[in-house]
Every structure is written in C-alpha cells, then in structure tokens.
Structure 1
Amino acid sequence: MSPLVLALLAGAVVGLALGALGGGGSMLAVPALVYLLGFTPAAATTASLLIVAVTSATALYAHARAGHVRWRAGALFAATGILPAAGAGAAAGRLPQPVLTAAFAGVAGVAAVLMLRAGGAGRGARAGAGAVRPGRAAGAGAGLGALTGLLGVGGGFLVVPALVSVLAFEMRAATGTSLLVIAVNSLASLATRGSTTTGLDWAVVAPFTGAAVLGAWDGKRLAARLTGAALRRTFAVALLVVAAAMGADAVVQSVGSA
C-alpha cells in the first residue's frame, strides 16, 4: 500500500476514535506513524500532536453543539495542564528513543485498564451529581498535561476515565469535555516543538489530518448509535495490543543500542 493510502486509512481510524470516545487518537496515531509510515518516535509524537489538536478542535465543535461539553471543568483541566505540557514537551527531545517508546507503551496499558474500569465507575458516578472538585481536577490536569508534552499523547484516554470517576461525569459529557482538554494540551506542547515540525513529511501529515477530521464527524455519529460500554471495550483491547507491540519494540531498541 502507498504511504498516501496508509495515511488516509490511519487518519480515518484516529478521527473515529476521537469523535466517538473523546480520546485515543494519539494512542493510535503514534504507532501508525512509526510502524506504518516510517516516522521516528520523536517525529511521530510531534506529528501526532498536530493531527490530534486539529481533529480535537473539529470534534469539539460537534459535541458542543449537542450540549456535551462542560466548559468550566474542561477549562480547569486544560489550564492546569498548559505549563506541564510545555515543560515536558521541551524535555522530550532529550530522551533516548527506547525510553520514549517504553513510556508510551506503559501509558497505553494503563489507559486501557482505566477505560475498562470506567464503565463501572460511571454507573456509580451518576448518583454523585457530577460536582467539580477543583483540587483533584487541577492535579489530574497537571499530570495529564505532562504526559501530553512528553509522549505526544492528547491524554483523552486518561481524561475520560478521570472525568467519569473523579468528577462523576456521564460518558457523553466526559467524551465532549475531554476534547477541549486534548486540544489545549496538544497546542501547548506543540509550542515547545516548533523546530521539530520543519522536518515532518507534510505529504503524509496533511492527508492523515484531513482524514482524521472527517473520521471525527463519523465518530460522533457512531457514538450516538452505540453504547459507551461497547466503544470503551473495543478501544481498550486495541490499546492493549498497541502497548504490547510497543513494549516489545522498546526492548528490541534497548538491546540493539546496548
């Protein structure tokens, strides 16, 4: 398959994940860019931030029109994550590639477990009325911002479970609100990686982003038809596969560089 076709297919899957679940785009974009399109891990994380920022902003508009965005909580998460995202983004370029790959695999595995557990948390959360807890929300936002900057992940697969379990959001509100956090954190991290964007293969990144934007609209429609539990389980399994593959690759990289 040509790189263009691979970019379009991968972009559509990434957009579908973001539009349907409010997360998972970068968790799928980085492995696709590395293993299908030949990007280095450092270039893939930078490209992923760009793709996810644009796609999240587009999907956010659709969810906001449906009334599924809680702006106050999302703004708190996003605001506390800006500085950590920028600082971690500046440090990411100094870390060895095997370390970045292993860290990404670990985060993907944790995110999968959190998504599988989020269903049960959400059922109990609905009784809690969804009040915003500023201290816990700020702490979670700062940690997720750091992960965004370091690993090039938008953090949606961690934001959504946090909003469901910590702030007692229903799944649809958590999905829409997470897109605001993802877009802001991704842009903050990109601001520290300006020099790395010049080396990106725009013939791949541009169609990847375009397909992701279109896929996000389809994801929004898909989310309205399927249950949140079914969508969570599907992408959690996909994340576990990604985590296992990238963990094995990190071991190979470490052995090769030894």
Structure 2
Amino acid sequence: MSLLFVAPLATVVGLSLGALGGGGAILMVPILVYLLNQPPSAATTGSLVIVGLSSLAGIASHWKSGNVRLKDGLVFGAAGVMGSLIGSRLSVLTQPEILMTAFAVLMLVVAILMFRKSRRPAAGAGKPAAGSATSPPIADSATSPRSTGRPADRAAFTKKLAIFIVTATGVGLLTGFFGVGGGFAVVPALVLALGFSMPTAVATSLVVIVINSATALAGRAATGLEIDWVVIGVFSVLAAIGSVIGSRIGQRVAPQHLSLAFSAMMVLVACYVLAMNVPLLFA
C-alpha cells in the first residue's frame, strides 16, 4: 500500500502515546508489516525509533502540566534495563506463535485490572492522588531524612522501594521479551503497583518508553540497524505531532475515561493477535 495513504496512521500512534502513554509500538509494528510489507525485524526496529521520538515530543508537552515525574521515570527505566536484556534473550528462544499468544494474554489480564480499577469510586476524594506532583518522588525519598526516621517510616519506605524495583524489573523483562516500547505495561504498573494518578502515570511512562526504546536500539545496533529511513522519518514526524495533540487531549479527559480507553484498546489488539496466532499453534 502507498506510503501516502498509510502515513496518516502514524498520527494515530502518536495520539495513543500522548493521551494514553502506550499502544504506539503495538499499533506501529502491524502497520509497517501488513500495510507496508516490511519484514518484522525492520518493522520492530523502525517502530522503536518512531515510538522513542514521538514519546520525547509527548514528554515536552506533558511537562508544562507538571505531570512528568522525571526522576521516577529515569529510575524506573534504569531499574528495568537488566530485565529488558534478560527478556530479549528469552524472546529469541521462544516460538513466535507462543510469544505472541502470551503477549495477547498479558494484555487481556492488564486490561481487566485497569477496567476494574476504573469502575471503582475514586479513593480519598479531595486528597492529593498518590504519585501526584505534590507527593515526594521515590527517587528523592531514597536520600530523604524521612526515610531514616521512625521504624514505621523506614518500613513503609522499604516496601515502596521494593515494589518500585520489582515492578520496574518486571516491566523491563516484559518489554524485552515482547519487543515493544513498554507503555502497555508501564502505565498499569505505575497506576496499580505504585499508586500514580492516571495523568501522572501516562506522562511519566513516556520517559520510561524513551529509555526502553534507546536500550533496545543500542542492543540491535551491534548487529546492524535495518531501517527504511524515508518511511521512518515521515512516520516519526507525524507521530510526534500526534503525541503533542494526544497529550493535550489527555489533560482534558477524566482519568477513569483514560483507563477505559486504554483497556478497550488492549482488548481489541489482544483479540486480533489471538486470532492471528492461536490457529498456528494447532496447525
């Protein structure tokens, strides 16, 4: 199919990144493979470039709203690097059909968790949301005198730090294993495990996606980057524009609606992936 007709879909990828903090790579790889006939290796590599650059644009837009927890995002991304490398190694040892089927199951599980959370009444109405800009980032808490105060404070901090590290490593493992930017896992992890508000999780997840994308690209550079720079360049510009627009949309939509939209998107993609791969398991 002509690039002229397919390129506008890159804006949709950017919109999903800016508004929901994920879904870009999930959408981009099928576009490059099925509509532009790129081999999967080239599509996944090019997708990392597009998603990484459009996430950078989204960060700049979200920054003005104060939702980007930069230090938390950097620590989260750094903590997930080792998991990402291990996941990448495991991925090459897994049969493609099994890999994609597991990917779809993972998305369904996360979608259900996000849907259930979005249906609950907001806890602590009128109080600052956990993970909001008013609560101290865990990256700062590590050096804060409050973390060395009373035993109860130390225990609470230790528990929060353990959850942070385990979650980041797990997300990195999943990201490396499934070969995508990781927004589909980062946003639910920040919301469900760390208590971030949805807008803050969406904005901060873009920092993690940039780190994950850069790490994956660096790993692939050792064997050579197979990239169609004309296609990837056009898609990157359009996705970046979409990301800026999406971030503004996300700031005007209720967190519950964002959660529902994120869940619906993952269910649709998961069903498609299952339909494409489950029959191959029994062929």
TM-score (norm 1): 0.86
Structure whose CA Rg is larger: 2
Deviation at 1:55, TM superposition (A): 1.3
Is this contact kept in 2: 1:118–1:161, CA < 8 A?
A: no
The residue aligned with 2:102 is 103
Contact 1:58 1:213 in 2 (8 A): yes
- 2:186 aligned with 1:159, yes or no? yes
CA distance in 1, matches of 2:124, 2:228: 44
1:40 Cα deviation from its structure 2 partner:
3.8
Post-superposition offset of 1:173: 1.2
Q: Secondary structure at the match of 1:38?
A: coil
CA distance in 1, matches of 2:122, 2:74: 25
Equivalent position to 1:147, from 174, 180, 183 = 174
Contact (CA 8 Å) 2:101, 2:277: kept in 1 or not? yes
**Cross-structure match for 2:13:** 14
Equivalent pair of 1:34/1:41 in contact (CA under 8 Å)? yes
Is structure 2 residue 98 aligned with structure 1 residue 89?
A: no
- Quote the residue 2:72 is aligned against: 73
In the other structure, the counterpart of 1:25 is: 24
Closer, same or farther in 2 for the Cα pair 1:47/1:103, shift >3 Å?
farther
User: What is the CA-CA distance between 1:30 and the residue it aligns to?
Assistant: 2.4
**1:172 & 1:144 partners in 2: Cα distance?**
19
Find the aligned partners of 1:246 and 1:13 in 2 and give their Cα distance: 19
Question: C-alpha distance in 2, partners of 1:112/1:196?
Answer: 35
- Aligned residue for 2:278? 251
Structure 1 counterpart of 2:245, which letter? D
Per-residue CA deviations over 1:141-173 (Å, capped at 9, x if unaligned) read 011111212212222222222222222221211
- Compute the RMSD of aligned alpha carbons: 2.5
Residue equivalent to 1:5: 5
126-135 vs 82-91, greater mean Cα deviation: 126-135
Q: Deviations over 1:14-49 (max 9, x none)?
A: 100111111221222223233333334443332222
Q: Match for 2:46: what amino acid?
A: A
Distance 1:158 1:117 in 2: 16
1:232 maps to a residue whose letter is S
User: Identity of aligned pairs, percent?
Assistant: 39
The residue aligned with 1:216 is: 243
Q: CA deviation at 1:244?
A: 1.1
2:164 and 2:29 map into 1 onto residues whose CA distance is: 27
Structure-1 separation of matches of 2:267 and 2:233: 28
Query: Letter of the aligned partner of 1:13 in structure 2?
Result: V
Residues 100-150 of structure 1 deviation map (CA, whole Å, 9 limit, x = unaligned): 322332233233223323425792377674464111011110111112122
Partner Cα separation in structure 2 for residue 27 and residue 115 of structure 1: 18
Residue 192 of structure 1 deviates from its aligned partner by 1.2
Query: Within 5 A, what are the aligned runs for 1:130-145?
Result: 130=131, 132=138, 133-145=160-172
State the distance in 2 between where 1:168 and 1:96 align: 35
Partners of 1:4 and 1:197 in 2: CA distance = 28
Contact 1:22 1:160 in 2 (8 A): yes
Q: Give the number of the structure whose residues are more often helix, by fraction.
A: 1
Once structures 1 and 2 are overlaid, which stretch shifts more, 116-125 or 70-79?
116-125
Counterpart Cα distance in 2 of 1:243 and 1:199: 27
Distance 1:255 1:18, change over 3 A: same
Change (3 A) 1:139 1:121: farther
Paired position in structure 2 for 1:63: 62
Structure 1 distance, partners of 2:40, 2:200, is 32
C-alpha contact 1:15 1:25 (8 A) present in aligned 2: yes
Of stretches 176-185 and 98-107 in structure 1, the one that deviates more from structure 2 is 98-107
Q: How many corresponding residue pairs? A: 255
Q: How do 1:173-184 residues align onto structure 2 when only pairs under 5 Å count?
A: 173-184=200-211
